[in-house]
Structure formats: C-alpha cells, structure tokens
C-alpha cells in the first residue's frame, strides 16, 4: 500500500492497489469486530464490553487511516469503480475517531459504555421489583391508567441522565474525527453518504416530509380527538400537542398499541393476529420460519442451517443481553443471524419480516467487493423487510393458514388506520432524531440545551410534548437506543418512504390490480426477480440507479404512501370536519 507521505504524483495503478489492499484489511477487521460485538450484545459483561471496544477501535483506526490516505488520489481520473470505493472510504464511517490514539481509545470506550448502560437499564421503583425495558414497554402498550403510564414513562428515563456528560464528550470527539477528514462536523459527514451534497440531502428530506405531512397532521388531529374523549381534558387537551405517555409506545414513535381507543365504529377487521399466532401454538422459531417462507416464495434460497443454530430468538434468563432486534452477517458471506427477544405477537411477527429483509439483502450482495457489501443507501436496507411486511395482508394470512377468510372490503378503514398508527405516525419521529443530532454536532443545540432542543423538535415535527416538566438535568434523547448506540436514524425515515415506493413497484411487477393496500406479493417470482436484481447491486452503484432498477424511478417519492392510504385520508377528512387541527410549536 502506498504511504501517505510519498511525494511523487500518484498513479491510477497505485490507487487500484491501495483500494484492493484496503478492502482486504477492512474485511478482516470487520469480521473480528462483528464477532466481538455479537458476544457483547448477547452476553453483556465488563470483559465483553472491553473486547468489543478494542475490536471496534481497530476498525475505526483503520477506517480513519484509510480515509485520509484515500485523499491522495482525489485529483486523478480513475475508473468509476475505483473512484466510488475511494469515496466510500471517506464517507462510510459512522464514527470517525481522532488520529490521536488516546482520544480514539476514549471515544470507543464511551461508545461501547453508553450502549451497555442502555442494555443494562432498569427502573427500580421504591418498594417494588426492578423492571427492564421489555417490562416497561409492555405496560406502555397495554395500560390505560394515565398515572401508571406516567410512572412507567418517567421510570425508563431514569436510565439516561448518567449518559449526558458521556454524550457531550462523544460529540466533541466524533466532531474532531470528522473534521480531520475534511467535514464540517459529524452530521455533515453522515449526510455526505447519500450520493449528493450534504445540504442537498437535507433539502431532499424536507421535500419528502412536505409530501406526507398533511396525512400525518390529519392522523394527529383524529387521534387527539379520540384520546380526549377517552381521557378527558386533564390528560389530553382537545387542541395543541399530544402528551407523550398515552400513545402506547415508550417513545411515542408508533401508536398502534392504542388502536382499540381510536378505532372507528364497525371497523373491527374480525381477527386479532396476536391471538391467532398464540392460538396456532407458535414458538419463536416458527415465527421466524413464516418470515423465511415468505422470501422463499419469491424465489430466494432458504436461510443456512447456521442461522438457526446461532441466532438469538429468546431472552436468556441467566444474563443481560441487548434485546433490540438486529440482523447480522458475521463473516460477510453466509454466517447470517438475527438477535431478538421474540414475543408471540403481531408486532414481532412484522419485525421478523423486517429483520429477515436485512438477512436476505446481506446474502444477495455477498459476491460484491467488500466495500460494495451494503445497501444502495441505508434507507434501502431498512426498507426491504418492511416492504415484505406490507404484504402481510389478510389475504396473505389466509394463504398461510392463519386466517380462515379475508374480511370484507368495508373493514379496510380499520386495517388502514391500524397500519397508519404504525407507519404514518412514525414518519416525523424518524426524521427528528437525526435533526437533533445534526444540530448537536453543529453546535446549534449546545450541551446546555440538549433536552430543550429535543423537545422543541418533537413539538415541531410530531406535535408531541412531555407529560411533565423536563429540565437539563434529564437526557431524554438517551432513552432511545439509537442515540447511545450511535446508529444513524434518518435511514428509518427513508425506509418508510421507500417501502411504499418499492411495494407499489413490486405489486405492478406481480400484475396486481386493485387497491394498493390489498396487494400481497407473496408467491410472485416476477416480483422476486425484480427485487433480487436490486439487492444484488449492493452499494456498487448510486442509489438512484438501484431505485430505477426496481421502480423505474430515480427520485424517492412519498406519493406511494398517499396512494396506499387514500381511503383512510378520505375517512380522516370526514371525521375531522369542524375540528381545530394542528398545533403550535417553537424551536429550530
């Protein structure tokens, strides 16, 4: 590999040799770090944290070193593949560490330490048993007692204040690493990974949000009115922002658990998928088998035997683990795994389809060179599994024997509302998490305003407010896994846009005719062939090329969401007549 200190003019041949050596080196380090991270996530101890941190530090150090060396070749006329790999070396980092070894080590210790604090998090009420996030989330989902919901909401947020000073230092060191690579800050570096300038990507997000915002505001207005009817003015006001603790989810990011409170009269679909799954006697493995069979019906090969031997499907009783669902490819070839603490319910049935979307994507591009083993952009990876989950329709449940007959079309409004409480309600949350981080990284939200800035953005985008006063003694962003885990979140917003765009395109490929929300691509090899073509491209081409291969379009387009929920929009418009919709908000 050419040394960065060499003074002669670099050549195309040197650039090619540099990229080849870089890929070989990174692949070895990625595999080592992935193995260490798997053990840390599935067996949390001080030692596994240290081992994972050390492996992660080696990856970061190599990434930073290679990213800096790659700048030697920036002025060369290079073959497109080599130029793209060099660009990826510079922009693909999520956490660029400073060149200083001591600071780099400090950053990795902070990063792994915050994730472990989250994974070990418990709320221990005075005189009561300690509860982990799973226990608390079940209460948030099922309770209708506002006092119990408030205690639960506050209880989980006792876990995060200890992270606040760590996060401040984390942002400082991450910014230092990003600036050493030539970026303004860590947020600008993240936004540079989308085949467009950082400011252009920010404008693209604004454009997509503007497309879907009217649908979200209609849903917000309807839900607020129904919750006001149930709880009264003292808990949920008839106008203004919604309180965060009564929406059925620890972060109010999805609202599907409150469907019984807001369901329209006569819209009961006639079945409860959770009850059906339990009545069928399914265990966690069979839940995953259903997801696998969906993909094999599209023409994909079954998952390898090692997947079933090595995955974590249940929460162990003898140790702490990170239960947050994730998909892994340890060796970047065939060692596919998922990590979940599966509950037998409709939500996890959908989550399994999502995680297996990652798995089948990972295997589809495993023949690409190492730097191209990724999705066209990170929203694509998140979107593929959810695209399949959109095909978990009543008709599909009939096909696989979990439902005797599909409900009449007159029941569609209830089904659409239930899905909107998940998908549409999520959109502003999916957008604002990184809006907060980008402002933190740029200094627009300084440490003295961490919590204030968080709630200002939640008010602006979601129309949601904390149920009690929150101060800078708190650190509510840290109560969301992706913040201490340093996982970019805009990918989930993009995934929610792309999954409907993918779904519309795949339904057309399958020859489906009818309302978009009734389409299932289950069993369509024509749709599967279109999907495989895109997945196999990996990161080898800019994302507009990948999008065009599946949809014929080169621009992300949220109108597919509007098409999908068109019957619901008409219903919401009718229901909201005479109501004062919208809310006031302040902040950035």
Catalytic annotation, residues: 324-325, 354-355, 358, 382, 482, 492
* Neighbour tally for 225: CB within 10 Å: 18
CA dihedral 441, 444, 450, 451 (to 10 degrees): -130
CA dihedral 535, 536, 538, 540 (to 10 degrees): -140
In angstroms, rounded to a whole number, what is the distance separating the alpha carbons of residues 99 and 92? 17
Whose tokens are 């947050």? That residue is 324
What letter does residue 475 receive in the DSSP assignment? -
In angstroms, rounded to a whole number, what is the distance separating the alpha carbons of residues 145 and 358? 37
| Per-position DSSP letters for 154-181, written without gaps between them | HHHTTSSGGGHHHHHHHHHHHHHHHHHT
What is the CA angle 187-193-194, rounded to 5?
A: 115
The token duo for 349 is 């049935």
In angstroms, rounded to a whole number, what is the distance separating the alpha carbons of residues 83 and 229? 59
Report yes or no: 526 and 358 within 8 Å, Cβ to Cβ: no
Report yes or no: 469 and 447 within 8 Å, Cβ to Cβ: no
- 3-state class (DSSP) for residue 247: coil
Phi and psi at residue 42, in whole multiples of 5°? -105, 0
In angstroms, rounded to a whole number, what is the distance separating the alpha carbons of residues 78 and 450? 44
Q: What is the largest CA-CA distance in the chain?
A: 77
Report yes or no: 225 and 238 within 8 Å, Cβ to Cβ: yes
In angstroms, rounded to a whole number, what is the distance separating the alpha carbons of residues 87 and 105? 26
In angstroms, rounded to a whole number, what is the distance separating the alpha carbons of residues 537 and 543? 10
The token duo for 417 is 């509302």
In angstroms, rounded to a whole number, what is the distance separating the alpha carbons of residues 249 and 140? 6
- 3-state class (DSSP) for residue 343: coil
- From 583, 571, 580, select the one nearest 428 (Cα to Cα): 583
Whose tokens are 């596919």? That residue is 336
β-strands 336-339, 464-465 pairing: unpaired
Strands in 248-361 per DSSP E: 326-329, 336-339
How many Cα neighbours within 13 Å face the side chain of 480? 21
Report yes or no: 532 and 300 within 8 Å, Cβ to Cβ: yes
């Amino acid at each position: 590999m050419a040394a960065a200190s060499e003074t002669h003019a670099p050549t195309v041949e040197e650039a090619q040799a540099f990229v080849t050596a870089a890929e070989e080196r990174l692949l070895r380090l990625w595999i080592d770090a992935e193995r260490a991270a798997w053990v840390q996530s599935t067996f949390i101890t001080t030692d596994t944290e240290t081992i994972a941190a050390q492996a992660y530090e080696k990856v970061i150090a190599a990434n930073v070193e290679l990213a800096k060396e790659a700048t030697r070749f920036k002025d060369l006329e290079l073959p497109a593949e080599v130029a793209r790999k060099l660009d990826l070396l510079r922009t693909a980092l999520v956490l660029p560490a400073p060149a200083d070894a001591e600071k780099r080590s400090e950053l990795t210790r902070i990063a792994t330490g915050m994730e472990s604090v989250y994974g070990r998090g418990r709320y221990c009420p005075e005189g009561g048993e300690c509860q982990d996030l799973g226990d608390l989330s079940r209460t948030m989902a099922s309770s209708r007692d506002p006092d119990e919901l408030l205690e639960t909401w506050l209880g989980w947020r006792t876990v995060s204040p200890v992270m606040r000073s760590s996060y401040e230092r984390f942002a400082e060191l991450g910014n230092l690493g990003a600036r050493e690579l030539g970026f303004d800050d860590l947020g600008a570096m993240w936004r540079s990974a989308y085949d467009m300038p950082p400011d252009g990507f920010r404008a693209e997000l604004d454009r997509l949000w503007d497309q879907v915002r009217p649908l979200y505001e209609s849903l917000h207005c309807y839900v607020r009115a129904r919750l006001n009817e149930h709880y009264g003015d003292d808990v949920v006001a008839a106008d203004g922002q919604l309180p965060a603790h009564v929406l059925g989810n620890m972060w109010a990011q999805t609202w599907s658990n409150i469907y019984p409170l807001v369901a329209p009269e006569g819209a009961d679909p006639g079945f409860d998928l959770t009850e059906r799954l339990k009545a069928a006697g399914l265990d966690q493995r069979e839940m995953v088998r259903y997801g696998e069979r969906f993909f094999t019906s599209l023409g994909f090969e079954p998952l390898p035997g090692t997947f079933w031997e090595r995955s974590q499907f249940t929460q162990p009783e003898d140790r702490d683990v990170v239960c947050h669902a994730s998909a892994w490819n340890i060796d970047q070839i065939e060692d596919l795994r998922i990590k979940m603490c599966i509950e037998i319910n409709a939500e996890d049935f959908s989550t399994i389809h999502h995680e297996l979307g990652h798995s089948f994507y990972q295997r589809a591009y495993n023949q690409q060179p190492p730097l191209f083993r990724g999705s066209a952009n990170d929203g694509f990876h998140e979107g593929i599994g959810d695209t399949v989950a959109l095909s978990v329709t009543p008709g599909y449940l009939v096909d696989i024997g979990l439902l005797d007959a599909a409900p009449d079309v007159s029941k569609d409004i209830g089904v659409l509302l239930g899905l909107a409480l998940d998908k549409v309600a999520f959109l502003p949350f999916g957008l604002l998490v990184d809006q907060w981080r980008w402002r933190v990284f740029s200094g627009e939200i300084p440490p003295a305003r961490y919590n204030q800035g968080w709630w200002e953005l939640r008010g602006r985008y979601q129309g949601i407010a904390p149920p009690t006063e929150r101060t800078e003694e708190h650190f509510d962003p840290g109560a969301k896994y992706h913040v201490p885990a340093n996982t970019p979140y805009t990918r989930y917003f993009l995934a929610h846009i792309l999954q409907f765009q993918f779904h519309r395109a795949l339904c057309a490929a399958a020859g489906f005719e009818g309302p978009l929300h009734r389409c299932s691509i289950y069993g369509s090899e024509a749709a599967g062939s279109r999907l495989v073509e895109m997945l196999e491209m990996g990161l080898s081409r800019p994302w507009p090329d990948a999008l065009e291969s599946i949809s014929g379009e080169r621009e992300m387009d949220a109108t597919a969401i509007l098409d999908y929920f068109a019957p619901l929009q008409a219903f919401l418009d009718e229901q909201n007549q005479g109501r004062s919709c919208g809310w006031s908000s302040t902040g950035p």
